[in-house]
């Protein structure tokens, strides 16, 4: 019996190995990190959620029209990608924990270095070659302290800077000044916001006007007038016109996050905030006022926003559904992940014989359908819950099928 089972497995394996398979999509997938290349317009790097495998890094050189796998990072969950502003072939990737990953060959191979503590987000210094900043928190033996980790050799070695060594907190945002070398801002929990003008050696607290008890989730310095700085909190977009001395509410939204100036034009800024849903917000007056463009973009799950360094009208989003891009300052968005097929499909069902209709569930995203046997896909209406559909049933119709979905246990 055992010999028969081994023979059967070997025969099945050989049959599978000889079969010809073609991916038909749908395109997209859970992209958790992305970076735009400041050296080459249209070159974009992206990393999907690949747990428990090592994270793949993909690259597009044609603004998302096509993608290819470039390499793998020895981390299952990459949260941040960045291209070095002084070397186009040097990339940085940060995962959960205390590791920074580095590549000097456009993401093909990677090495790692350890931080003194835990990091949350990475920023490169556009004015100092080799200088990196990572916001995070440091355990000093008695409590967790808001920390900035600083490297001056492209992440090979690190020092820790504590703005207020006697205050507990977690650093969640960092921005290097694009005009004055050595000036850096650090945002943290409990409305903690700090500014250093000597590369993190000394600090001044700059929280006047920020709502108490909130986290500073995003920071950005205007590339044309560095006195103008944006900060995001759970109350909305805050703006300073004097280098952080005083903050005023510029846009009242819930759960604002990730506001950033366009590197190509300091009058343009992009942000994410909650209105009736999480939406992309736009400012065209250097962050003084904010609008929600129409039809705009609604974030269904999670997303990170990236202003294009080459074109002020262009911005990118990496989401659980893939990558999308605007070229008209946020009014319209198009998918930019052609060929980037990373979806996990836990359930699939076919329509009646000869109909060429198929339905499949994409884990964490929703249900898709095709009417041409996979040549094109259309996303179905969203479910009111988590979209982790484990089964699909079809009641055939002449042109419209009735679908039944099993989510979790009901």
Q: What is the DSSP letter of 9?
A: H
Q: In what order do the strands lie in the sheet with 315-319?
A: 303-307, 315-319, 322-326, 334-335
Decide if pLDDT at 14 tops 70: no
Is the domain 31-335 a CATH 1.10.260.40 member?
Answer: no
Return d(Cα 379, Cα 377) in angstroms, integer. Answer: 7
Q: What is the DSSP string of 327-381?
A: SSTTS--EE--TT-B-----EEEE-STTS--EEEEETTTEEEEESSTTSS-EEPP
Would you state the pLDDT for residue 9? 40
Q: Please give the pLDDT value at position 226.
A: 98
Least confident of 60-69, 213-222, 268-277, 396-405: 396-405
Query: What tens digit of pLDDT does each residue of 368-386 get?
Result: 889 898 888 888 877 655 5
Q: What is the pLDDT of residue 19?
A: 64
Q: How confident is the model at residue 18 (pLDDT cuts 50, 70, 90)?
A: low
| Contacts for 405 with CB less than 8 Å, ≥ 6 apart | 361, 367, 383, 389, 391, 392, 393
Chain segment 180-206, per-residue pLDDT in tens: 999 999 999 999 999 999 999 999 999
119 pLDDT higher than 80: yes
pLDDT at 26: 85
Token duo for residue 37: 């290349």
Residues of the chain with CATH 2.130.10.10: 31-335
Better-scored residue on pLDDT, 175 or 235? 175
Stretch 112-130: mean pLDDT: 95
Average per-residue pLDDT for the chain: 89
Query: Does position 16 have pLDDT exceeding 60, yes or no?
Result: no
What is the predicted pLDDT for the residue at 384?
57
Cis peptide before 250 (omega within 30 of 0): no
26-30, 89-93, 106-110: segment of lowest average pLDDT: 26-30
Q: Is the pLDDT score of 301 beyond 80?
A: no
pLDDT score recorded for residue 6: 37
Rg for the chain (alpha carbons), in Å? 23
* Residue 156 DSSP class: S
Q: Per residue in 321-339, pLDDT tens?
A: 899 999 999 999 999 999 8
Q: Is the pLDDT of residue 17 over 80?
A: no
Give the mean pLDDT of 73-98. Answer: 92
CA 328 to chain centre: 21
**Mean pLDDT along residues 262-272:** 97
SS3 category, 197: coil
What pLDDT does 342 receive? Answer: 81
> In this model, does residue 7 exceed pLDDT 60?
no
* Calpha distance 20→149 (Å, rounded): 50
Q: Which of 340, 352, 346, 396 is nearest to 367 (CA)?
A: 346
What pLDDT does 13 receive? 47
H or E element that contains 258? strand 254-262
* pLDDT for position 10: 42
- 399 pLDDT above the threshold of 80: no
- Give dist(CA 190, CA 210) in Å, integer: 10
Question: Residue 247 pLDDT more than 80?
Answer: yes
């Amino acid at each position: 019996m055992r010999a028969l089972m081994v023979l059967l497995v070997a025969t099945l394996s050989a049959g599978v190995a000889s079969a010809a398979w073609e991916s038909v999509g749908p395109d997209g997938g859970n992209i958790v990190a992305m970076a735009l290349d400041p050296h080459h317009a249209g070159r974009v790097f992206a990393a999907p959620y690949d747990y428990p495998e090592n994270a793949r890094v993909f690259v597009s050189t044609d603004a998302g029209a096509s993608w290819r796998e470039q390499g793998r990072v020895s981390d299952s969950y990459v949260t941040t990608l960045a291209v070095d502003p002084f070397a186009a072939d040097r990339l940085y990737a940060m995962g959960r924990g205390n590791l920074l990953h580095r590549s000097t060959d456009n993401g093909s191979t990677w090495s790692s270095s350890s931080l003194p503590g835990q990091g949350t987000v990475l920023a490169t210094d556009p004015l100092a070659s080799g200088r990196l900043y990572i916001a995070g928190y440091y355990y000093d033996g008695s409590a967790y302290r808001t920390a900035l980790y600083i490297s001056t050799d492209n992440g090979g070695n690190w020092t820790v800077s504590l703005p207020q060594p006697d205050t507990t907190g977690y650093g969640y945002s960092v921005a290097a000044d694009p005009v004055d070398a050595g000036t850096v801002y650090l945002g943290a929990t409990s409305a903690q916001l700090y500014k250093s003008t000597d590369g993190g050696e000394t600090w001044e607290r700059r929280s006047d006007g920020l709502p108490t008890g909130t986290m500073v989730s995003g920071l950005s310095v205007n590339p044309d007038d560095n006195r103008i700085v944006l900060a995001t909190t759970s109350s909305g977009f805050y703006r300073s016109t004097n280098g952080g001395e005083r903050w005023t509410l510029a846009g009242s939204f819930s759960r604002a996050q990730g506001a950033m100036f366009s590197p190509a034009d300091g009058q343009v800024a992009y942000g994410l905030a909650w209105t009736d849903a999480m939406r992309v917000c736009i400012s065209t007056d250097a962050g003084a006022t904010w609008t929600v463009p129409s039809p705009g973009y609604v974030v269904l799950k999670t997303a990170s926003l990236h202003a294009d360094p080459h074109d002020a009208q262009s911005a990118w989003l990496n989401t659980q559904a893939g990558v999308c891009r605007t070229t008209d300052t946020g009014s319209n968005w198009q998918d930019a992940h052609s060929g980037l097929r990373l979806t996990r499909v836990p359930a699939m069902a076919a329509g009646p014989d000869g109909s060429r209709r198929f339905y499949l569930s994409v884990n964490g995203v929703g249900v898709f359908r095709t009417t041409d046997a996979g040549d094109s896909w259309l996303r179905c209406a969203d479910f009111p819950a988590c979209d982790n559909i484990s089964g699909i049933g079809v009641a055939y119709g002449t042109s419209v099928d009735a679908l039944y979905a099993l989510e979790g246990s009901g």
